[in-house]
Amino acid sequence: MGVLLPFLALYRRHSVLIGLGIILAIVTLLASIGLLALSGWFLAASSLAGLAGLYTFNYMLPAAGVRGAAIFRTAGRYAERVVSHDATFRVLSHLRVFTFKKILPLSPGGIARFRQAELLNRLVADVDTLDHLYLRVISPLVSAAVVIMVVTFGLSWLDGPLAFTLGGILLLLLLLLPPVFYYAGKPIGGELTALRSQYRTDLASWLQGQAELVIFGALDAFRTRLNATEQRWQQRQWQQASLGGIAQALTILASGFTVTLLLWLAAAGIGGDSQPGALIALFAFAALASFEAMMPVAAAFQHLGQVIASATRVKQIIDQQPEAIFPDTGPAAQPDVTLNLHDLSFTYPGQPLPVLHDVTLTIAAGEHIALLGRTGCGKSTLLQLLTRAWNANSGEIQLNGQPLNAYDEATLRAMTAVVSQRVHIFSNTLRENLRLAAPQASDEILKNVLQQVGLDKLLENEGLNAWLGEGGRQLSGGEQRRLGIARALLHQAPLLLLDEPTEGLDAETEQQILALLRQHCRGKTLILVTHRLYGLEHFDRICVMDGGQIVEQGHHAVLMQQSGRYAQFRQRINNISL
């Protein structure tokens, strides 16, 4: 239950609406109880009065009371629905914003351990489940407790023992049913939450990997697994519905027992009278109507297990600390960038071996560096440390003589342009995908940079208004990579970090892109990660990495004379070419 406390604290912001909704729910329940009890008494009293009561019995006052209770119930029910739903949507909106604000600083390192579909499910479905806490738990429980006290106090003016008998039974049920059905529904609710997440994650994987599943003939096997998850999910839903039916049945059974008991106790008279008279109908109908307040209580607490499971899953995300915490202010941006890496070491969380080990490197302003090495040697990780996607475990990175972690995020992003291995294309127009890097760029500038990277054919037909779709599906991998390079060119940052920028490009296009980068980066600091050897002779320095360390560095001509790793790579490629 303690896992709910952080979310309950968020409800304080909407305490006025929540309190008003609960008050309206109480008024509606009391009006409903009053309507049924007064109607029962009125009919019984009118019957006993008979024709002789036409002149002695006051028909007008009870009739007015019945009408008033009916009006209060109708108006109260409408107002309660409006206020409660408004409060629920406000709470839900607040929960989503609160959760998203907690997730946003974690990107990208902190959320790398979560699959995209899993993260989306926690942000949407699990947060949605948390709104049950008010509608299905807090409001019914508080309303039932207040109604029990008011009904018991009101009826005690007519007959104390009968009133306290009814109040005692209702209070006993209020104390007994919630924990019983909470513990009965907790494992079902927890598994429902897990199965819902698993099903939606598998479904997203099935839809995204449709082509691969068809090509390798694995579609039926994957669909069978998905169907099995769906069947287990439906079975748990059936169990939860059955538990809800049992709760309703027990409440109805308790209602019948209570009315029978009250009728038996009232047989000896009510309020000191030897004959119960019409008041017996008032007590009987008041008891029946009072159980209306008890109906949601038992059913609500069987959903509490699902709420707690969802709260736990959301809390697993919001309790994480950001991998990189940026200060509010820091050194000012500079037109030139120098980098100093001293004894840099890094190990990914949960991994036994370090990716980088005692890396030391000095890069002058305007210098062009190529990082070369086998897959997994730490090249891309080094770039991630430079962008503060992760923080180094030990060592220091200095940017223009200042610690990298001293820069505020806006300044660091303004000074750095990055092309990662996976360029994300947003479901938007070509223009808006480019303006991510330069919001104020004119259409002419955008068209010019597209022509420079060889994407001028994208300007045909709809031009910059062309819709690229989810993930840029209509673009090839090479086109997506060149679109990422176009963003880097538009950003006009003094430091460019490029991770395999020519991967997936043909030889001619690769030559054009590398020539373009050399021209654009004159006077800028450039770090290019690659495993391709073409064009490296134009770089100021080549750094060969192996085992998380820089094992060799120097200009192309110097390294070729040393017959080291770089020369061996070149020789091996030449032999393959022959």
The SS3 call for residue 351 is coil
Q: pLDDT tens string for the chain (578 positions)? A: 677 777 777 777 888 888 899 999 999 999 999 899 888 888 887 877 766 665 666 777 878 888 888 998 899 999 989 998 888 888 888 888 888 888 777 766 667 677 777 777 777 777 777 777 787 788 888 999 999 999 999 888 888 888 999 999 999 998 888 888 888 888 888 888 888 888 888 888 888 788 888 888 888 888 898 899 999 999 998 988 888 888 889 989 999 999 999 888 888 778 766 666 788 888 888 999 898 888 888 777 777 777 888 888 888 777 777 777 888 888 888 889 999 999 999 988 778 888 999 899 999 999 999 998 888 888 888 998 898 888 888 999 999 989 998 999 889 999 999 888 888 888 888 889 889 888 888 889 999 988 888 888 888 888 888 888 777 767 888 888 888 889 998 988 899 999 888 887 777 888 888 888 888 888 899 999 988 777 788 899 999 988 888 888 888 888 888 878 888 777 776 655 44
Q: How far is CA 367 from CA 10, 214, 377, 541, 556, in A?
A: 51, 48, 22, 8, 14
pTM of the model: 0.72
Rounded Cα–Cα distance for residues 449 and 438 (Å):
12
**Beta carbons of 276 and 159 less than 8 angstroms apart:** no
The SS3 call for residue 193 is helix
At 578 the pLDDT is: 45
Domains parsed from the chain with CATH numbers: 2-318 (1.20.1560.10), 339-577 (3.40.50.300)
Greatest alpha-carbon pair distance for the chain in Å reads 126
Amino acid making up residue 367 = E
At 369 the pLDDT is: 92
At 151 the pLDDT is: 92
Nearest CA to 268 out of 159, 167, 152, 165 is that of: 159
φ and ψ at residue 290, rounded to 5 degrees: -65, -30
Q: How far is CA 296 from CA 33, 70, 153, 370, 397, in A?
A: 16, 22, 22, 67, 59
At 574 the pLDDT is: 62
First to last CA, the chain: 70
Rounded Cα–Cα distance for residues 110 and 121 (Å):
17
Tokens of 483: 């679109």
Residues 6+ apart with CB under 8 A from 302: 181, 182, 184, 185, 188, 189, 240, 243, 244, 247
Q: Chain-centre distance of CA 138, in angstroms?
A: 23
What is the DSSP-derived secondary structure letter of residue 341?
Answer: E
Rounded Cα–Cα distance for residues 520 and 507 (Å):
20
